[in-house]
A and B are shown apart, each in its own frame.
Chain A
């Protein structure tokens, strides 16, 4: 579904990604962990081309997408993204946040878009909040609207960039529940998170990244209980406490 080969990315003198290669099969949920600054977010952004890799290839459904002649907008329609800081459109209600892309990007009629958005908001448990503005919602509610907004575009895969890091502890659970349900339904997902519970429950594999490289890859048990690499062990022991 998503294949990435030997991605390199520099920001000025900073060498952020140093040759990343991995593959995500259809229906898999991959969790990426790693210390801050290890390049996790940049890697996610390289996949939907919000950041263009300096070299290496990104394949989505067998099509190389980071090349001239492929519209970035098309790529981003294929891959939904959820951000750490939600980034809901502040001037629109929850339901308008979900319908905007449907109407303006997909060209759907307003009635159909609203119908679809209602279904999605109900799916993330926010049917009652359809007409609330983002500033009137809690962090957890905002993030669930953001998930609905991304799902509305019928993406083939979803990217989550630390979706719970900006949330108060009492709201983390509701967002993780939505994500777990999504993984169970067979959505292909790449999730950058430090939520060990989610990683153990929902992840097919876990990648540990450090300094722009994938250091270790394995199941939750392998990574958390029996890490092979010293750096993984050091990191895991820090976050498991």
Chain B
């Protein structure tokens, strides 16, 4: 009895892996049987056509990645903007009070310079306020409307105002995706920036960092670590969403699904190809990101995401 237990404990990970495999294969087999069981999967069709889809994947990854990076710039800017305490009429008033006080204490300073200071501050605070409100509106509009509509809107915009580019489906698509993901990433960045403890900024400021370098060297490195998982989510989401670009004439995986072959008899073969491609890419990405997370983890902070296998090994040591 105890021999069996020791054996199980020492070889548990093989059972564990086998179990996982059985579940995955079983599920796939069940789905396969349900959908194509009666007629069989046309492997020859897949062999003939999969290159078409591989080509589409390249377009897709390309569009997604560019849009994602541009969106990141938009997202960081808007997200940071939305954390700023700009709505500070109080702060403006305080600045004006300081100015008034100094004028009282030192009347020798030129009146013209003083006036200029007031005008410049007013412009500065006014601009910040307006820009911030635009940021708020941007996020609400992007989040509040469907991506599909946004893509069609971008297309219509080009047709009406920039007709010479109206046939550049990929370009329009990338712009639409970038703006869309920018809105979502703004919220991710805002959450990340606001989660970093205010004491961190205070400490950085206390040793002479400017606002900008405190952001660069203290807040951002911490915020980025926090938002790796939601940023990954956003990339995967965007990657899948980019297949929508077929409405602009960009050949994506589901173009073929929707146009060419749809319901012509080979539909499940197409599903098989598309599913395999998407899973291959997203699962690979998950692994890469998990490695990144481990690489950048701050020792001693938070709960480490332990690999399943490591837990098993620990149990073995215990036994």
Contacts and interface: CB of A to CB of B under 8 A. Distances in A.
A89 B200 contact: yes
Interface string B96-123: 0111011000000000000001000000
Given A50-B202, A136-B299, A55 B102 contact: no
A180 interface: no
Contacts of A104: 209, 213, 217
Interface string A183-196: 00000000000000
Nearest to B224: A91
A22 interface: no
B207 A90 contact: no
B222 A91 contact: yes
Interface string A84-119: 010111110000000011001110000000000000
Contacts of B98: 52, 66-68
B101 A55 contact: yes
B208 A101 contact: yes
Contacts of B35: none
A150 interface: yes
Contacts of A100: 207, 217-218
Interface string B79-100: 0000000000010001001110
B280 interface: no
A16 to B, nearest CB: 14
Contact of B222 (A76, A81, A90, A149): A90
A9 B121 CA distance: 22
A67 B104 CA distance: 13
Count chain B CB atoms within 10 A of each CB in A52, A73, A149 and give the residue with the most. A73
Contact of A52 (B94, B117, B207): B94
Nearest to A67: B102
Contact of A80 (B207, B222, B298, B300): B207
A73 B210 contact: yes
B230 interface: no
B204 interface: yes
A68 B99 contact: yes
Contacts of B218: 89, 100
Contacts, number: 90
A88 B298 CA distance: 13
- Max chain B Cβ within 10 angstroms of own Cβ: one of A68, A101, A104, A133: A104
A101 B202 contact: no
A74 B206 CA distance: 10
A105 B209 CA distance: 6
Interface string B279-293: 000000000000000
A59 to B, nearest CB: 13
Given A87-B200, A104-B217, A133 B209 contact: no
B304 to A, nearest CB: 12
A133 B298 CA distance: 7
A130 interface: no
A85 B199 contact: yes
Interface string A59-75: 00000001110001110
B117 A50 contact: no
A54 B117 CA distance: 18
Interface residues of A, number: 37
A50 B222 CA distance: 22
B294 interface: no
Given A52-B94, A67-B102, A149 B207 contact: yes
A73 B102 contact: no
A83 interface: yes
Given A68-B99, A153-B207, A133 B117 contact: no
A77 interface: yes
B205 interface: yes
Contacts of A74: 208
Given A100-B217, A133-B301, A89 B204 contact: yes
A88 B203 contact: yes
A136 to B, nearest CB: 4
A54 B207 CA distance: 23
Contacts of A67: 98, 102
Interface string A27-57: 0000000000000000000001010101100
Contacts of A239: none
B163 interface: no
A90 B225 CA distance: 11
Nearest to B196: A90
A81 B206 contact: yes
A91 B302 CA distance: 12
Interface pairs A-B: 6 shortest CB-CB: A135-B300, A87-B203, A87-B199, A77-B208, A101-B207, A136-B300
Interface of A: 12, 48, 50, 52, 54-55, 66-68, 72-74, 76-77, 80-81, 83, 85, 87-91, 100-101, 104-106, 133-136, 146, 149-150, 152-153
Interface of B: 90, 94, 97-99, 101-102, 117, 197, 199-200, 202-210, 213, 217-218, 221-222, 225, 298-301
Given A73-B210, A149-B207, 8 more contacts: A48-B206, A72-B205, A80-B206, A89-B200, A91-B298, A133-B300, A135-B300, A152-B207
